[in-house]
Structure 1
């Protein structure tokens, strides 16, 4: 913070006395602190008339100075800045909350479609309800007198004589409905399987429990396999970094994570997964046949990330996408085969020539250093030529 001082003289001279002499100056000091930026000071001087010429110099009396203190601009603007910052923070928080509320849980899928557990009862409840319903029907039949004679004799009771009246029909309807609901809602839950329940087209929950259960028989059940699954498709079109057409067979490891979205979000989640794999192969350059392990791993990682991002919104979790077989497309297979053969032949010839040159150099050097031959330049060139032809012919005969 910059300290500002007012233009006020440090010494205020006293008034001249009657003898014309100038009295000694008295210092009038003002204290300036860092919190003071501008201090307007008005010093009003008033002289007292001297009684005689021999009187001492008149004392200068100062009226109380009126100091107007004004806060510095930084402090004056601080409350306004604080109010603005608080308002902006509130606006940002409200905007963020609205964005979170408006943002769907998965792009392209209804945010209301999300897996949640369905309400089911233990299977014993259905068994008891069905048993009571069947017993109620039997008692009503005996009461109305429609119980078969063999059943009456087996039970050792006398046949009822109530007849089929409104009460008997109501009892039949209630007991029958209880029995149908009790036995009709029994279901067996298995490990790795789930049911997606719907009531008149509305999602009512997912059942992942195992064992004997009772599910409302009015609900439509859709069985979904939630186990870890492998899918190996036919060769699909792809391309390498150079744009050469390829055919790639991939292995996809996946499973259903959200049964509601996988069943209700798309018509067929397996077909959707296949479409995601095809799209990823067209967008990611695949390592060409014969590429190194690092290139193959990079291709696998890129495919896995892309397919997982595309299939995630529909409740499908993709664990890995592995290229199993990579080959050139039929239209370029012959040309690429000739190219690879030519490259292999060129590498083979280079290795043969290099080994022959090394052998000739070693032979000539050893003969010369041991003193077995004393050759001039012409004889040395002739010997090198003959040895080169001999070594090349020998390697050609052995197939090296």
Structure 2
């Protein structure tokens, strides 16, 4: 687990290192071929380099993972100029949120239909110890496991409702529910690497090119049938209302044959795709 370490400010060490650098320059310039003065200059410059090796600059939302000859010492998240043991090994790990846009993956959905799917994932490092030591390369780990999670999601649900409208959640109609499931699975897969998923959204979803045309025709046919059903349903209601109002107000009395003819004419007018061209009857109702 991550262990936070609070180093001392590095400004004093920086000033001392600069003074040692100036001292070493002065001693080398004014050595007068004196071995002790030259040795003092060498010691001063070594001390300067040693102190400079312990200075680290930590920008906001960054961290340094510190190890001492392979042993984990701690992680510092303190911003600014800091001073640590110069013998520590220092690994930079960003704590900023990062975006990952997956490539378009071609997989089969739950119904076996080939589809293309991609997602946008917002992630950040929450545990620097796990990110540094539990996995080999945490950025590559995020990429590979994210693609695996997207593939698993795509195979767990159908792309869309087919003839059966009771298939439950689908990739196309699931919306926030599907995104929440993806986010949950990503957190489970990436938590061993100390990665936190802030948001996951499907950015691309479509049938694969080899069946896209056939599926488009199916969707168009379904839409046409649904529209026709609504038109016929509305036309029947209008015809029923017209007959009821004519009978109620006793405008005209129609026998069954004339009612059937009127219903047929009204249905043709109301359900036709083009405007009807009326023919005026200048005779009687029965001519």
Distance change in 2, residues 1:390/1:132 (3 Å): closer
| Equivalent position of 2:175 in the other structure | 296
Q: Is the 8 A contact 2:96 2:125 kept in 1?
A: yes
Alignment correspondent of 1:203? 72
Alpha carbons 2:63, 2:77 under 8 Å: kept: yes
Residue aligning to 2:232: 353
Q: Is the 8 A contact 1:129 1:183 kept in 2?
A: no
Cα pair 1:194 1:206 within 8 Å, conserved: yes
- 1:193-228 deviations in Å (ceiling 9; x for gaps): 112234444434322111122234444332211012
- The equivalent residue for 2:164 is none
Counterpart CA distance in 1 for 2:135 and 2:171 is 38
Q: Is the 8 A contact 1:197 1:206 kept in 2?
A: yes
> In the alignment, is the contact (CA less than 8 A) between 1:132 and 1:178 conserved in 2?
no
Q: Say whether 1:180 aligns with 2:49.
A: yes
Which residue number in structure 2 is paired with residue 380 of structure 1?
Answer: 259
Assess if the C-alpha contact under 8 Å between 1:251 and 1:323 holds in 2. Answer: yes
TM-aligned CA deviation for residue 312 of structure 1 = 0.4
CA distance in 1, matches of 2:28, 2:122: 58
1:347 deviates by 0.4
Cα distance between partner residues in 2 of 1:305 and 1:178: 52
Contact (CA 8 Å) 2:116, 2:208: kept in 1 or not?
Answer: yes
TM-superposition CA deviations, 1:39-64 (whole Å, max 9, x none): xxxxxxxxxxxxxxxxxxxxxxxxxx
- In structure 1, what is the Cα distance between the partners aligned to 2:191 and 2:103? 23
Structure 2 unaligned regions, length at least 5: 162-169, 277-287
1:248 corresponds to 2:248: no
CA contact (8 A) 1:129 1:178 kept: no
How many angstroms does 1:121 deviate by? 3.1
Partner Cα distance (1:190, 1:286) in 2: 43
What SS is found at the alignment partner of 2:63? strand
Name the residue aligned to 1:396: 274
Matched, 1:130 2:17: yes
Q: Which residue of 2 aligns with 1:164?
A: 34
What is the CA RMSD across the aligned residues, in angstroms? 2.8
d(CA) in 2 for partners of 1:192 and 1:275? 25
Which protein, 1 or 2, shows the higher relative CO under an 8 Å CA cutoff with sep ≥ 6? 2
The number of aligned residues is: 266
What residue is the counterpart of 2:200 in the other structure? 321
Provide the rounded CA distance (Å) in 1 between the counterparts of 2:265 and 2:157: 49
TM-superposed CA distance for 1:346, in Å, is: 0.4
- Contact in 1 for aligned 2:100/2:143 (Cα 8 Å): no
Q: Distance in 2 between matches of 1:272 and 1:142?
A: 54
1:305 correspondence with 2:191: no
Give the alignment's TM-score, normalised by structure 1: 0.59
Change (3 A) 1:342 1:121: same
TM-score of the aligned structures, taking structure 2 as reference length: 0.80
Instruction: Determine the structure 2 residue equivalent to 1:144.
Output: 31
| Contact 1:129 1:181 (C-alpha < 8 Å) held by counterparts | no
Contact kept in structure 2, 1:130 and 1:178, CA below 8 Å: yes
Distance 2:43 2:34 in 1: 15
Higher strand share: 2
Distance 1:170 1:289, change over 3 A: farther
| Distance across 2 between alignment mates of 1:223 and 1:353 | 68
Look up the SS of the partner of 1:375 in the other structure. Answer: coil
Counterpart position of 2:96: 227
CA contact (8 A) 1:195 1:224 kept: yes
Separation in 2, partners of 1:321, 1:115? 25
2:281 aligned partner: none
Residues 289/121 of structure 1: CA separation in 2 closer, same or farther (3 Å cut): same
Q: What residue is the counterpart of 2:151 in the other structure? A: 282
Distance 1:238 1:296, change over 3 A: farther
